[in-house]
């Protein structure tokens, strides 16, 4: 309703103006007719401008509670909503939240981009429920999806879903095979065409290995050692291809590093253990790929040893999906030296925002750059790797945050974007910061209004 107030004020003003002009025109005494008409116009326009500028929503005092309360709210609202703000290339974004539909009709939530609906869900009438939506954003960089809530044909609200998609990160994969085989060959071929670094060791004789290096410099693969493993994110190995020492090296390495090991299935592999995280299920609902955590490392087992036939039969999307799921889940996480995070999640304009720098190494710069603003950093008293800074963004929309060579884009929400989830500022000394920012220009309209009124009054009296 508040956004329509401008129009309502304008319409009322127009009606008032028409009536006043008519009254002035009708008056038997036609003296100063033009002057009176002009004065009426000026008075009404000033009054309307005053009304618009002193927008009630800007004068409203923030409610005392910061979290919307399901029992007291009358309008349908999001009680919670969250998603990954920074995504890896071509990875899906998962939007989960809770919506309270207080109306008696179902409400549709639609996730859109550039006018195309990507995913949608319906919240039944009078229901307070969780929802989940998922999509792969089509852009690379910073972009806004839109979450549109509609009931029937009416749009209730449009909320931005800001995301930043990172550029592609090449994986480094080591194959250890007991013999040269087709399955590995196909997988290595596909991965290398995707720009991944691939090294392959296939045993051809007792102490002889045929090797293959794609998109990387050749290294000695005669023995799997810790320095060699440092160079890779994922190891795809057959159990019998690893010597006893190598197995020990791998186990020891996984104690301290989150490398992923994909154990290739042999003819009697059955994936039916329950001890791991089920990544994929077959058509019968049985787990076909299971991920186990071993200390810091990950071990992945699966039961299909002829996926190359999918690609041969032209079903290359299935092949890619399968291997992308497996390799993404198992690969070593990218752990940058430093990252920048923002708090609260729905950081609003003209509000206090905390920027958090997580930096494991020594702190090279003592400040962050938010656009052109230098923000000094302070170390967290308990977490030595965390540095914080306070920032008051004055503009909503995308902002670039920089520290050294790390640059991220963060979105600052406007006051009408996700208002129910924005953390409302506590009222300091009875004044909210917006009031001070909004006020100065408003009262200038009072002068012409008063002047016009004085003229009209004087004209009548004289």
Question: Both tokens of residue 294?
Answer: 């071993």
Q: Are 94 and 135 within 8 A, CB to CB?
A: no
Q: Are 348 and 336 within 8 A, CB to CB?
A: no
Residues β-bridged to residue 100: 77, 128
Using CA atoms of 442, 443, 447, 448 in order, give the dihedral in degrees to the nearest 10.
20
Question: Both tokens of residue 312?
Answer: 């041969």
Using the rule CB under 8 A, is 336 a contact of other proteins?
yes
Nearer to other proteins, 70 or 136 (CB): 136
Ranges within 356-415 binding other proteins (CB under 8 A):
358-360, 385, 397-398
Instruction: For residues 139 and 141, give the distance between their C-alpha atoms in angstroms, rounded to a whole number.
Output: 6
- Site map (CB under 8 A) of other proteins, residues 428-447, x = contact: --------------------
Nearer to other proteins, 72 or 218 (CB): 218
Instruction: For residues 126 and 107, give the distance between their C-alpha atoms in angstroms, rounded to a whole number.
Output: 10
Question: Both tokens of residue 232?
Answer: 């890779």
Q: How far is the CB of 113 from other proteins (least distance, A)?
A: 8
Q: How far is the CB of 387 from other proteins (least distance, A)?
A: 12
Ranges within 268-297 binding other proteins (CB under 8 A):
295-296
Question: Both tokens of residue 96?
Answer: 């989960």
Nearer to other proteins, 338 or 438 (CB): 338
Q: How far is the CB of 85 from other proteins (least distance, A)?
A: 11
Which one of residues 122, 215, 269, 305 is an interface residue with other proteins (CB under 8 A)?
215
Q: Are 122 and 106 within 8 A, CB to CB?
A: yes
Residues β-bridged to residue 113: 116
Which one of residues 29, 116, 440, 458 is an interface residue with other proteins (CB under 8 A)?
116
Ranges within 313-332 binding other proteins (CB under 8 A):
317, 320-321, 323-328, 331-332
Ranges within 254-273 binding other proteins (CB under 8 A):
255-256
Q: Count residues near other proteins (CB under 8 A).
A: 87
Ranges within 220-249 binding other proteins (CB under 8 A):
233
Using the rule CB under 8 A, is 135 a contact of other proteins?
no
Which one of residues 39, 43, 159, 196 is an interface residue with other proteins (CB under 8 A)?
196
- Site map (CB under 8 A) of other proteins, residues 136-175, x = contact: --xxxxxxx---x-x--xxx--x------xxxxxxx----
Taking alpha carbons only, the member of 90, 304, 323, 92 closest to residue 198 is: 323
Ranges within 19-58 binding other proteins (CB under 8 A):
26
Using the rule CB under 8 A, is 204 a contact of other proteins?
yes
Ranges within 75-94 binding other proteins (CB under 8 A):
86, 88-91
Q: How far is the CB of 134 from other proteins (least distance, A)?
A: 14
Nearer to other proteins, 16 or 453 (CB): 16
Ranges within 172-191 binding other proteins (CB under 8 A):
191
Matching residue, tokens 């009408």: 416
Burial 244-278 (b: 16+ CB within 10 A, else e): eebeebbeebbeeebbbbbbbbeeeeebeeeebee
Using the rule CB under 8 A, is 349 a contact of other proteins?
no
Nearer to other proteins, 324 or 354 (CB): 324
Nearer to other proteins, 209 or 367 (CB): 209
Q: Are 229 and 246 within 8 A, CB to CB?
A: no
Helix (H, G, I), strand (E, B) or coil at 4: helix
Which one of residues 65, 72, 74, 218 is an interface residue with other proteins (CB under 8 A)?
218
Taking alpha carbons only, the member of 349, 352, 336, 264 closest to residue 302 is: 264
Work out the number of other CB atoms within 10 angstroms of the CB of residue 236. Answer: 27
Q: How far is the CB of 40 from other proteins (least distance, A)?
A: 17
First to last CA, the chain: 44
Stretch of 37-45, 61-69, 212-220, 416-424 contacting other proteins, by CB under 8 A: 212-220
Q: Are 166 and 87 within 8 A, CB to CB?
A: yes
Instruction: For residues 71 and 261, give the distance between their C-alpha atoms in angstroms, rounded to a whole number.
Output: 50
């Amino acid at each position: 309703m508040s956004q329509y107030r401008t129009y309502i004020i304008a319409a009322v003003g127009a009606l008032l103006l028409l009536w006043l002009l008519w009254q002035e025109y009708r008056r038997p005494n036609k003296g100063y007719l033009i002057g009176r008409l002009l004065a009426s116009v000026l008075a009404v326009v000033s009054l309307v401008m005053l009304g618009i500028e002193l927008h009630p929503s800007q004068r409203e005092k923030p409610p005392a509670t910061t979290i919307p309360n399901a029992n007291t709210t009358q309008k349908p609202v999001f009680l919670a909503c969250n998603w990954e703000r920074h995504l890896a290339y071509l990875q899906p974004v998962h939007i989960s939240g809770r919506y309270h539909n207080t109306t008696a009709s179902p409400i549709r939530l639609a996730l859109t981009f550039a006018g195309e609906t990507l995913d949608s869900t319906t919240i039944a009438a009078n229901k307070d429920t969780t929802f989940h939506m998922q999509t792969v954003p089509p852009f690379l960089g910073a972009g806004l999806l839109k979450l549109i809530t509609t009931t029937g044909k009416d749009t209730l609200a449009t909320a931005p879903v800001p995301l930043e998609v990172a550029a592609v990160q090449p994986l480094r994969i080591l194959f250890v095979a007991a013999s040269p085989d087709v399955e590995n060959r196909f997988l290595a071929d596909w991965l290398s065409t995707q720009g991944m670094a691939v090294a392959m060791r296939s045993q051809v004789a007792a102490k002889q290995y045929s090797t293959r290096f794609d998109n990387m410099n050749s290294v000695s693969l005669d023995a799997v050692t810790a320095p060699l493993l440092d160079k890779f994110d994922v190891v795809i190995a057959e159990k019998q291809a690893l010597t006893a020492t190598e197995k020990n090296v791998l186990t020891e390495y996984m104690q301290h590093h989150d490398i992923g090991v994909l154990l290739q299935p042999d003819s009697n592999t059955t994936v039916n253990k329950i001890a791991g995280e089920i990544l994929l299920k077959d058509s019968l609902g049985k787990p076909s790929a299971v991920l186990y955590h071993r200390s810091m490392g990950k071990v992945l087992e699966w039961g299909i040893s002829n996926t190359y036939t999918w690609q041969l039969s032209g079903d290359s999307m299935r092949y890619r999906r399968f291997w992308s799921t497996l390799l993404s889940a198992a690969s070593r996480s990218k752990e940058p030296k430093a990252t920048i995070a923002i708090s609260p999640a729905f950081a609003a304009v003209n509000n206090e925002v905390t920027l958090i720098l997580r930096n494991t190494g020594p702190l090279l710069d003592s400040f962050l750059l938010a656009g052109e603003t230098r923000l000094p950093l302070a170390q967290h008293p308990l977490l030595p790797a965390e540095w914080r800074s306070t920032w008051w963004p004055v503009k909503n929309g995308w902002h670039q945050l920089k520290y050294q060579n790390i640059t991220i884009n963060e979105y600052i929400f406007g006051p009408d974007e996700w208002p129910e989830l924005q953390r409302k500022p506590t009222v300091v000394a009875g004044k909210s910061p917006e009031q001070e920012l909004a006020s100065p220009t408003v009262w200038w309209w009072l002068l012409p209004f008063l002047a016009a009124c004085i003229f009209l009054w004087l004209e009548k009296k004289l």
